[in-house]
Amino acid sequence: MSKIVSKEEQYPMGSGTLTIKVSLGDGQLGTTSVMLGNTSLGIGDTIDLTVGQTTELTHQTIYIESTCRDVNSSSDYTSVTVTFTDAANTKTYTYSEQAESSGGAVIYDLTFHLS
Amino acid sequence: MIGKCAWATWLFLLLACFAKGQSEDSLNLNQLRPPSSPAFNILGIEPESVMRPSTPNALGSALVSSIQDGFLRPDIALEFAPYWLKSRPNISFKDYIASTFKQRLKQTTAISIATSSFNDENESGSRLGWGVRTQWLSGTTSSRTVELTKATLLETTLGTLVGEYKRDTSIHTPAQLETKVLARIDAMLDGTADLPQLTGLSPKEIKSFLREKAKKQVQMAILQNPKKEDESMKNYINRLRSENALLPKATAKSLSKSIKEPVGWLLQSAIASSMTFPSERFQFSEIPNASAWTTLTYRSYNEKSAINLMVRYTGSFVDSVSNNLDIGLSLVRHSSNFSFALEGLYRAYRVEGVEALDETLTQMTTTTIEGETYRVTMNVAYKLSDLITLNATVGKDYDHPIVVGRNVLTLFGMNFNLPTSQVTRL
């Protein structure tokens, strides 16, 4: 059974175009999906995409789900780094959790309310 | 097949009749590799369980637990990699498997600590061993690692894809989930939905997986994991994708193991030393031995051949001082059923403080013995079936610097392997 890490955050948007980057750390392998409401924006092992204009995104929610597989024999740590960037600011969120065993997984269920 | 087995069994029995027993240790063909845990090697122990703390707190607890009533507890075996004691969010998978020189040293340095007790005729006490190993060159990823990386990414993507539906309020049953996921896969295949972006995988490879495996895996996962009556769809989807159904461990575990077996050039070093505490008193402590290993290995890209060159120093400093310098070369070749290994070790030795009779053969005197010797072994193994392997090892052992004895090595044996789970290569 994989661990599930659930987090909920507020992202105070600035102006301009909002972009999002998601990367996995600790030498682990995995994939991430990004959804804006019920719309899938992309699935991949690294995420670097444009969400849209901040003026059109107010009060919307971004769901990020990352599945990290423990393939690093030296560490059971897994981590996800999410970076939001717009014309006014850049904010980075980092989450970390240990997998239960080699070959196991940690699923990060992240919710960002855009305000 | 029966004929081949019968022939091999008769040959084995015939050889066994002529074989003289040798200890497994004296015929170990892995002597040219640096030990994975130098501290255990220097104490000559093979611990049943090894503590591998992965956080600073766990390391602290392990160190505290190794001391009891102010004395070292025997049979402690501890191994840890200082760099990995904390999370490293900036180290991607790519950084991990193809790191820079400086980064590689940090990632591969591991420390081992072990304790044991001794109790001989004259005294008793504790022994402490410590060791460090690291890799200067780590080779490159094998084709097997590349394939397993792709397979792990595809498996994980499928789970992530199914996870996207846990907020879809129009899904109330597993059948509806299956219909939606399969429709999404079809849309990816016909180009009306975006394919996942996976490093190292071409659209053709992703489509091949979606067409040939993904649909079946989703159907099987839903069929084998019925939804519980009081379970919400969100919880059902979380359960489905967090259990073995959509995230099988076997492929990721095989990948983890395969990463540790790269091809190309590897350069590894290790050092180790031990301390003894006779009567558990620090003021009586001694450093009885120390070792240092460096091994240069080349593993062929088809993973069937390997060459090892090893330089090893071992010193022993109790009673008499002995220093050994070993230079070894080994060749290993294996195919699906047959493996061959040839190992040669040259040893230059110097033993000081040896008591021997003087020239008149009437009085004992202290002398120094210096010399050279070598050891050559050849091992052949033939796999009769997945369960049975025949082994034969012959060779010449070192000549002992003082005692003249038998130096012929022979061992014939049969290994029985228990069946293990197979990983499906995608």
| Cβ within 8 Å, pair A105-B252 | yes
What's the CA gap between B153 and A46, in Å, rounded? Answer: 11
pLDDT computed for residue B322 by the predictor: 87
Report the mean per-residue pLDDT for chain A.
Answer: 93
A-chain residue closest to B84, CA distance: A75
Domains of chain A, by residue range, sit at: 2-114
Phi and psi at B207, nearest 5°, equal -65, -40
CB contacts of A103 in chain B (<8 Å) are 249-250, 252-253, 256
| Cβ within 8 Å, pair A43-B161 | yes
- Lowest mean pLDDT segment, chosen from B65-69, B126-130, B294-298: B65-69
CB contacts of A23 in chain B (<8 Å) are 92
Among the partner residues A26, A31, A96, nearest to B196 by beta-carbon distance: A31
Q: Does B262 touch chain A (CB under 8 A)?
A: no
Q: Is the pLDDT of residue B423 over 70?
A: no
CB pairs under 8 A between A and B: 158
B 313-352 residues with CB < 8 A to A:
none
CB contacts of B260 in chain A (<8 Å) are 73
pLDDT computed for residue A2 by the predictor: 84
Q: Is the pLDDT of residue A106 over 60?
A: yes
Higher pLDDT, B117 or B82: B82
B 57-86 residues with CB < 8 A to A:
81, 83-84, 86
Q: Is the pLDDT of residue B238 over 70?
A: yes
Among the partner residues A23, A65, A102, nearest to B163 by beta-carbon distance: A65
B-chain residue closest to A1, CA distance: B243
Binned at pLDDT 50, 70 and 90, residue B26 comes out as very low
Q: Is the pLDDT of residue B5 over 60?
A: no
| Min distance B207 CA to chain A CA atoms (Å) | 14
Domains of chain B, by residue range, sit at: 34-141+272-299, 144-254, 319-426
Higher pLDDT, B68 or B392: B392
Over range B357-364, report the average pLDDT. 76
Among the partner residues B81, B87, B242, nearest to A79 by beta-carbon distance: B87
pLDDT in tens, B146-176: 999 999 999 999 999 999 998 888 999 999 9
Over range B244-267, report the average pLDDT. 88
How much of chain B exceeds pLDDT 90, in percent?
42
pLDDT computed for residue B77 by the predictor: 87
Integer-rounded Cα Rg, in Å, for chain A is 14
Q: Does B152 touch chain A (CB under 8 A)?
A: yes
User: What's the CATH number for A2-114?
Assistant: 2.60.60
- Beta-carbon count within 10 A of A110 CB: 21
| Min distance A16 CA to chain B CA atoms (Å) | 26
| Cβ within 8 Å, pair A31-B153 | yes
How much of chain A exceeds pLDDT 90, in percent?
85
**Six token digits for residue A96:** 């970390």
| Cβ within 8 Å, pair A77-B238 | no
| Cβ within 8 Å, pair A71-B255 | yes
Q: Is the pLDDT of residue B404 over 80?
A: no
A-chain residue closest to B260, CA distance: A73
pLDDT in tens, B44-64: 877 778 888 888 898 898 888
pLDDT computed for residue B189 by the predictor: 94
pLDDT in tens, A31-87: 999 999 989 999 999 999 999 999 999 999 999 999 999 999 999 999 999 999 999
A 7-36 residues with CB < 8 A to B:
23-33, 35
User: What pTM does this model have?
Assistant: 0.81
Q: Are B167 and B161 in contact (CB under 8 A)?
A: no
CB contacts of B156 in chain A (<8 Å) are 29-31, 67, 69, 105
Q: Is the pLDDT of residue A102 over 70?
A: yes
pLDDT computed for residue B16 by the predictor: 47
Q: Is the pLDDT of residue B17 over 50?
A: no
Phi and psi at B280, nearest 5°, equal 60, 35
Over range A86-99, report the average pLDDT. 94
A-chain residue closest to B162, CA distance: A33
Binned at pLDDT 50, 70 and 90, residue B422 comes out as very low
Report the mean per-residue pLDDT for chain B.
Answer: 84
